[in-house]
Amino acid sequence: MTSADSSAAETDRRAGWARLAVIGAVGGLLSGAFGVGGGILMVPLFVTFAGMDQRRASATSLAAIVPTAIVGSIAYFISGEVAVIPALFVAAGGIIGSWIGARLLRRLPLGWLRWMFIALLVAVAVRMLVFVPERAAAHLELDALTIIGMVALGLVIGVASGLFGIGGGLVMVPAFMLFFGMSDLVAKGTSLAVMIPTAISGTVTNARGGVVDVRAGVIAGLAATAASFGGVALAHLMSPEVSTWLFATLVVIAAVQLSVRAVRLQKKERSERVA
């Protein structure tokens, strides 16, 4: 290899690292600001700018969520905005669900995964546009029915986490507010706490299946961790209305971008089969 080729390879490598860091920073900012893992945008960014397929992007995003969720939940905990006991019940279901979702990830066709993820994005955007949370919190009674509901919620979140590479906050945050009366900030902090064991469980399963890009996950995860501090500060500055509309807009943009890419890939696959 000539010196010119070596220099070009080094430039490409650095550019690749920079892209992964930017993807992670975006995910970390969203994680802190909205109480989500950041995968809802990290997955399409991995697909578009890191050249991953849907399966590897989802698995790598889930790995990057682990350090982000740890740091973000600590920041919320310091502010007294993590409901620890409810988080434990939801996490119990989440660990089981993420194992199921991660196994499904390795078995479902890529085309199905693309459109299922897009459908999830659309559903989330619609939910956010029709429901604006309040900052005041209701008192939470931990009776038997509530505990069963939390474990069931964790199971659903875990499946979504393992299957789509998201932390589950897209389902968790609104569910905490709608069904359990949490304020938007407590819902976000508790959501991040639940993501820690859920994301670890799914990532271990994905790693055993060989579908995780470990290098990309580490780089994106470190960048996301650093950016999550700014996201938490931003969450306290934004009103619930602004937070809801801003995140819904970002989700719609991601859904449109992935839809265009999915249609193009389908056309390409059809043309290759005809040829």
pLDDT in tens, the chain (275 residues): 555 444 444 444 555 888 999 999 988 888 788 777 677 778 888 988 888 888 898 889 989 988 888 988 998 899 889 999 999 999 999 888 888 887 877 777 767 777 877 787 787 777 767 766 565 655 667 788 889 999 998 888 788 777 776 667 777 877 787 788 888 888 889 998 998 988 888 888 888 888 899 899 999 999 989 998 888 888 888 887 787 788 778 778 777 876 877 787 778 777 777 76
Angle at 26 between CA 235 and CA 32, to 5 degrees: 25
Query: On the CB side of 10, how many CA atoms lie within 13 Å of its CA?
Result: 7
- Written as one letter, the residue type at 10 is E
CB distance 140 to 83 below 8 Å:
yes
Query: Token pair of 112, please?
Result: 């199905």
Of 182, 119, 133, 130, the C-alpha closest to 153 is: 182
pTM of the model: 0.71
Can you list the alpha helix ranges (DSSP code H) found in 165-239? 169-180, 184-208, 214-237
Count Cβ atoms below 10 Å from residue 173 Cβ, excluding itself: 25
Count Cβ atoms below 10 Å from residue 96 Cβ, excluding itself: 16
The Cα–Cα gap between 39 and 30 comes to: 9
Q: Cα–chain-centroid distance for residue 109?
A: 21
Start-to-end CA span in the chain (Å): 36
The Cα–Cα gap between 256 and 262 comes to: 10
The Cα–Cα gap between 151 and 95 comes to: 10
Count Cβ atoms below 10 Å from residue 116 Cβ, excluding itself: 14
C-alpha distance from residue 77 to each of 48, 74, 223 (Å): 34, 5, 21
Tell me 5's DSSP state.
Answer: H
Of 167, 191, 153, 161, the C-alpha closest to 98 is: 161
